[in-house]
Amino acid sequence: MNFTKKTDDGLTLTYRYDFGNAIADEGNQDVDEASLTIAGGFGTIVLGQDDDASDTYNQDEMDLIAEEPGISLISASISSSSSVTSTDALKIAYHLPAMGGLTAGISHADSGNAGTSDATAMGAKYTMDAGGAGITLSYATKQTDNATKDIDDSSMGVKITSGDISLLVSQGSYEADDEDRENMGAAVSYAMGNGMTVGAFTFKSEDDLDVGEEYTAAGAEVQYSISSGLTAVLTVIDYEYKATASNHEETAPGADSGTATQLTIKATF
């Protein structure tokens, strides 16, 4: 739910409430995100439970894919995308006003008196034209305090759009206690002009500190406009997660691989 008000002196105030998962909270409706945005000539300030600033500037291999396949590796200590992780912890964020093709922002989340997991995130995007093609460069980073070793998470990406074809390449890293992951991703999308758009993506993550731990994925997608406001999206992904005995922090179900097919029908009113 969004509530917006424009003040007499030109400020735009927006309050957003995102409902959480009632089932996960045993029937009690929980809040997922709740934040107040103050926007004006000075830029934008966001207060409350919302994404880290880095999330605004991420570019990863799934940005050209309309419906991300529902593959979850929550039981494995490996990355499943090259984007910077984001949480909805209570925080303050500031985004600069756009300066030409440049946008940037920073956020900070205070974990309380103990201060053992404070998080600072920032990012930037730059958009330009080159030879008739649109190019977007991005960089995002996040550092979270930790008792043993601070968590450093970063991502960079390049998107090139020329006519009906778009290409995106991304790279990310994640460093923490007993974690040193390198992530690489790429995607391509082509609008065929007959109501159909096709896309393909690939991703790989490996942990240099846990030899043999690796996640790879590749997939394709077809979007088709059935009629005005009604779209069908078919996504297929083939994935493989490798784990060895040396991955001592890895928990069940362990190594896994397979192919998943997902059909999504979207209606816009």
Q: DSSP assignment, residue 189?
A: E
Does domain 51-267 sit in CATH 3.90.660.10?
no
Mean pLDDT of 58-82: 80
Mean pLDDT of 214-228: 93
Query: Which sign does the torsion angle of CA 52, 54, 60, 63 carry?
Result: positive
Domain boundaries, the chain: 51-267
Residue 45 has pLDDT above 70, yes or no: yes
Structure pTM?
0.84
Cβ within 8 Å of residue 20, ≥6 positions away: 29, 30, 31, 32
**What is the distance in angstroms between the CA of the first residue and the CA of the last residue of the chain?**
16
Q: What is the pLDDT of residue 252?
A: 46
Residue 205 has pLDDT above 60, yes or no: yes
Place of tokens 């990355």: 79
Place of tokens 């424009």: 6
| Element at 56 (helix H, strand E) | helix 54-57
Mean pLDDT of 83-103: 92
